[in-house]
Amino acid sequence: MPDYAAPAPPPEFSEDSFLDGTVILRQPLDGYRAAIDPIILAASVNAEPRQRVLDAGTGHGAAAICLARRVPDCHVTGIDIQPDAVRLANDNARLNGLAGKVQMMVGDLVRPLPRIAAGGFDHVIANPPFLDAARADGSPVEGRVAANVEGDAKLGDWIGFLLRMVRAKGTITLIHRADRLDEILALLHGNAGETVVFPLWPKRGVAAKRVIVRARKGIRTPLTVSPGLVLHEDDGTYTEHADAILRGGACPILA
């Protein structure tokens, strides 16, 4: 359980539990709020103790903190372009007793980041904005726009950054819309291999809207399409496998 005795959150924030109550996150009531995507992303990373992980676009720190909780003694660095989000993410790391393992910083992935070294991470993960600005309706809430709609950094910038920051043979893992899978695979081609596409099926018999994509830098092994994960039963409850992941288990991305 979180071991940092923090004061009550301000009225404009909620305090939400994840991973069967072992992670607590403060989030703005009006703005982007973490759901299951960053949780499943964190569960899909095959990190080991003492390895270094970079979470690009960390937001409030959901994926970074859940990964650090699941994998003891790994070190997670998060970057985000929004200073307010970074402050909240660092507060959330302290709230969960992970300040020594999780560090967040302000960074823009399309400009140099002098505090972190290229090729310095065993794994790099991201939950990028899903929508191309030219096709998005947008949102009146600034935090949701930044989380959901591409800004100066386009999909190619995100994947280029992930590949640049991970070490040779290290993994990059991202969650994205299934209808942009062709773009993702084209951007990875020639730069990474041993690629696994892991569909997230809303229900049995329903087309996947999200996919996890994991690849290794500088590897030529062919692509694999995994059976993926069915998220919900017909009655709307989580499936047994999805529930296990949301309670803190690893995502069997190669199963």
pLDDT score at 155: 96
pLDDT attached to residue 174: 97
Question: What pLDDT sits at residue 131?
Answer: 64
**pLDDT of res. 93:** 97
How wide is the angle at C-alpha 63 spanned by C-alphas 34 and 56, nearest 5°? Answer: 105
The answer regarding whether domain 15-246 maps to CATH 3.40.630.30 reads no
- Residue 142 has a CB neighbour count (10 Å cut-off) of 13
Q: What is the pLDDT of residue 7?
A: 65
CB-based contacts of 118, cutoff 8 Å, min separation 6: 164, 165
Three-class DSSP category at 27: strand
Q: What is the pLDDT of residue 133?
A: 59
Which stretches in the chain have pLDDT values below 50?
1, 144-145
pLDDT value for 238? 97
The pTM of the full predicted model, rounded to 2 decimals, is 0.89
pLDDT of residue 231: 98
CA distance 255 to 240: 15
pLDDT value, residue 140: 52
Work out whether strand 210-217 and strand 192-201 pair parallel, antiparallel, or are unpaired.
Answer: antiparallel
Burial of 252 (0-12, 13-18, 19+ CB in 10 A): middle
Write down how long the chain is.
Answer: 255
What would the pLDDT profile of 50-79 be if each residue is shown by its tens digit? 999 999 999 999 999 999 999 989 999 999
CA 9 to chain centre: 24
